Amino acid sequence: MDRGIEKLARVFKVLGDYNRLGIVMVISKASRTVTDIINTTGMSQTLVSFHLRALRKAKIVTTRREGPFIYYSLVNPSLMDIIDELSHAISNSDPDKENVPETVSSRGW
C-alpha cells in the first residue's frame, strides 16, 4: 500500500478524536499556551497534555518557547481549511440536517 495513504490514515486517526479536534480548532487561529487551551476547552491539564503529545507525534502541532511559556500552533494552518471543507461537505450531503453538527468554523472555539 502507498506510504502516502498510510500517513494520511494516521492523521485522520489522530484527528478522529473529539478532544484532539477541539484542540486543533482552538489553536487554528493563533498560537496558544496549555493554559489557554485548558480555559477554552474546559479539559483538564492532564488531558490537554496527553492529546497535545499525540498531535505533536503526528506532526500536526508544533511548539515554540517564549520565556517560561510554550506556545502550540498548527504545523500547517491550511489544515483548518481542509477540516472546514470536510465539515461543509458532510453537512451538505446529509438529508437529515438536524443531526449534522454545524461547520467547524462557526463554533465558538
Plot region of 59 (φ>0 → left; ψ -120 to 50 → alpha; else → beta): left
| pTM of the shown model | 0.80
Residue 84 has pLDDT above 50, yes or no: yes
**Mean pLDDT calculated for residue range 52-63:** 96
Percentage of the chain modeled with pLDDT above 70: 84
Domain spans, the chain: 3-98
How confident is the model at residue 30, as a pLDDT? 94
Residue 103 has pLDDT above 80, yes or no: no
C-alpha cell read off for 73:
500552533
CA distance 48 to 103: 23
- CATH number of this structure's domain 3-98: 1.10.10.10
Question: What is the number of other CB atoms lying within 10 angstroms of the CB of residue 55?
Answer: 23
Residue type, 97: K
The 10s digit of each residue's pLDDT in 12-47 is 999 999 999 999 999 998 999 999 999 999 999 999
CA distance 13 to 2: 17
Q: Within its chain, how far is the Cα of 55 from the centroid?
A: 8
